[in-house]
Amino acid sequence: MAHEHHHKRFNPENLSRLDDPDRNHLFPIDRILTLAGIKPQMTVADIGVGTGYFAIPIAKLIAPATLFAVDVSQEMLDYFRNKLSQPGMPKNIQLVTGAAEATMLDSASCDIVFLSAVWHEVDDEAQTLAEFARILKPQGRVSIVDWSPNGTRPPGPPLEHRVHLEKVGETFTSKGWKVITSNSLNESIYVVVAERP
């Protein structure tokens, strides 16, 4: 399974494409942060932070609270660290080497766990949701932003790797989470928000 999983992981060589300005058409930041319920003073974990497309605006919104930028890829974290050293970047971001199923974060440390285009890569959903429940405070929420199989390519991962919006909701509900939001933003992207059991 590990080998199978590998080709789904994001290739750091595509970094410049991730910072493409067209992304805001597909991933409207303000709308997504509103749906995700992210508000000032909340502590947020961005799992699979990538180039920080969401992490930077989230960090600015929640400051001086902490944004934990979690990624399995050391290259990605190094790239992001370098980006954060530039002028005008938020100072409340803490970089963490970790995965969705093992974030390395403290228990009950976060108000929101945020995943953009990561859920479809998760192998062990039960373990991942248990980990999110662990790191969230009571009433904490997970916000999933991901690619819809109803969309077209490019952009985004192969359609067969994508997970339907309804399926995401069912996975959360089956583990005792309460789905708060289930919203197709456009034909390519959806947002699902669920409150921990």
Q: What is the 3-state secondary structure (H, E, C) of the chain?
A: CHHHHHCCCCCHHHHHHHCCCCHHHHCCHHHHHHHHCCCCCCCEEEECCCCCCCHHHHHHHHCCCCEEEEECCHHHHHHHHHHHCCCCCCCCEEEEECECCECCCCCCCEEEEEEECCHHHCCCHHHHHHHHHHHEEEEEEEEEEEECCCCCCCCCCCHHHCCCHHHHHHHHHHCCCEEEEEEECCCCEEEEEEECC
| CATH top-level class of 2-8+30-195 | alpha beta
Whole-prediction pTM: 0.89
Q: Residue range 47-51: average pLDDT?
A: 93
For 190, other C-beta atoms within 10 Å of its C-beta total: 26
Q: Residue range 126-131: average pLDDT?
A: 98
The average confidence (pLDDT) of the chain is 90
Q: Does the pLDDT at position 101 exceed 60?
A: yes
Torsions phi, psi for 48 (to 5 deg) = 80, 55
Which residues lie below 8 Å from residue 169, measured CB to CB, with a gap of 6+? 179, 182, 192, 194
**Position 107 confidence tier, pLDDT thresholds 50, 70, 90:** very high
Lowest mean pLDDT of 2-11, 79-88, 135-144, name the range.
2-11
Q: Does the pLDDT at position 41 exceed 70?
A: yes
Which residues lie below 8 Å from residue 176, measured CB to CB, with a gap of 6+? 197
- Express each pLDDT in 52-83 by its tens digit: 999 999 999 999 999 999 999 999 999 999 99
The predicted pLDDT at position 6 comes to 44
